[in-house]
């Protein structure tokens, strides 16, 4: 009973409406930047930003910008098209990683160092997307990322997407903020690689708990950038999906720490050894238990997105509150019954790679 009360408070109508308002404000800001010819694309750098983008996409429906968005099919955004001139580009900067202490000692690194280096490698990958396809493909670090997608995971079509993507010029980077560390680290790394706020980049940050957990060392810098017009900060009451796993984020992040540590050392450049998988259907698993579990994850994410879509509709005056209330109750019941917010002890590697992986 206590758990149900927690879910009811956490996934409240008020929290959904606040998050929806954040999505609507993001859509308005994105439209404003586009109309002023300040931006030409959108980067999604974190799993947490994926459901936010879905809410923004709902808020943009029927607009000129929605008509020209180019969303890759592997993002699985219903109603979207790949044909537009304004690309939405997912770049895997997930840094939630566990590495045994003995392995960290072997490489002489702390876990925080590895986390920052993973974000740095993703930032370097973003900088390569500003180059033309030929120059991009000649970069040894980009080749390593291609190898990971093609040979380790067997996803040639996604490798082709990054190979063939036209060069970015002035993107927006959309992310979620709790302490602000990740957003700050990413923006600093991008600056190091020549992608600079106010010149060829604008940042939009959805701020959890209305900024209550923003750390002082990042908050001051972010406020300075906001005052300069380089960053837009949008506070919301609660980002309910943050750090809650794939059932609410909709994406499974795969990190290959051995590859990252070994290749980065050998090649002396930042290797992006992170990939994303929008929730698979699990049908290729030989385990009935895994198939059923993945099915529940998909059901939960669809309900969460239905809640956010309904909340966006209400904020924009399109719908009443009833659809949100109905979907919210179903979501709470599903999360509680199947304990979907509990981290999986051992995800099945065969869902994400064609290679045999040691358990």
Residues 6+ apart with CB under 8 A from 250: 47, 50, 51, 54, 278, 279, 301, 304, 305
pLDDT at 94 over 80: no
Bigger pLDDT: 344 or 312? 312
pLDDT at position 249 is 95
Q: Return the percentage of the chain with pLDDT > 70, whole number.
A: 94
Q: Do 26 and 204 contact (CB within 8 A), yes or no? A: yes
Number of Cβ within a 10 Å radius of residue 224: 11
89: β partners: 43
pLDDT at position 103 is 80
Weakest-pLDDT range from 46-60, 90-104, 240-254: 90-104
| Structure confidence by residue, pLDDT tens digits, 289-315 | 888 888 999 999 999 999 999 999 999
pLDDT at position 290 is 82
Mean pLDDT of 173-179: 97
Bigger pLDDT: 269 or 194? 194
| Structure confidence by residue, pLDDT tens digits, 13-28 | 999 999 999 999 999 9
Instruction: List the domain boundaries for the chain.
Output: 2-340
- Tell me the three-class secondary structure of 129-168, residue by residue: CCCCHHHHHHCHHHHHHHHHHHHHCCCHHHHHHHHHCCCC
Residue entry with tokens 């930003």: 49
């Amino acid at each position: 009973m206590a758990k149900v009360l927690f879910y009811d408070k956490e996934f409240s109508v008020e929290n959904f409406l606040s998050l929806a308002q954040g999505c609507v404000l993001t859509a308005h800001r994105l439209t404003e930047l586009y109309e002023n010819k300040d931006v030409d694309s959108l980067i999604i750098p974190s799993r947490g930003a994926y459901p936010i983008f879905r809410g923004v996409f709902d808020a943009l429906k029927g607009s000129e910008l929605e008509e020209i968005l180019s969303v890759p099919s592997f993002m699985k955004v219903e109603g979207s098209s790949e044909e537009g001139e304004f690309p939405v580009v997912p770049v895997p900067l997930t840094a939630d990683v566990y590495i045994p202490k003995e392995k960290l000692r072997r490489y002489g690194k702390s876990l925080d160092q590895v986390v920052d280096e993973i974000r740095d490698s993703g930032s370097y990958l973003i900088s390569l997307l500003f180059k033309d396809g030929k120059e991009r493909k000649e970069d040894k670090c980009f080749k390593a990322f291609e190898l990971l997608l093609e040979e380790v995971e067997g996803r040639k079509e996604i490798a082709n997407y990054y190979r063939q993507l036209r060069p970015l010029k002035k993107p927006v980077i959309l992310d979620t903020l709790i302490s602000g560390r990740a957003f700050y680290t990413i923006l600093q790394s991008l600056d190091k690689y020549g992608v600079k706020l106010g010149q060829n980049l604008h940042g939009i940050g959805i701020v959890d708990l209305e900024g209550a957990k923003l750390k002082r060392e990042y908050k001051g810098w972010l406020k300075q950038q906001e005052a300069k017009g380089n960053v837009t900060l949008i506070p919301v009451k609660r980002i309910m999906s943050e750090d809650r796993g794939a059932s609410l984020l909709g994406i499974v992040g795969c990190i290959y720490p051995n590859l990252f540590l070994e290749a980065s050392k050998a090649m002396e450049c930042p290797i992006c050894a992170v990939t994303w998988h929008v929730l698979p259907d699990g049908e290729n698993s030989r385990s009935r238990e895994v198939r059923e579990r993945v099915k529940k994850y998909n059901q939960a994410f669809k309900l969460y997105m239905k809640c956010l879509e309904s909340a966006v509709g209400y904020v924009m005056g399109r719908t009443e509150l009833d659809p949100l209330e109905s979907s919210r109750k179903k979501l709470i019941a599903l999360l509680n019954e199947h304990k979907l917010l509990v981290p999986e002890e051992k995800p099945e590697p065969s869902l994400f790679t064609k290679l045999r992986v040691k358990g």
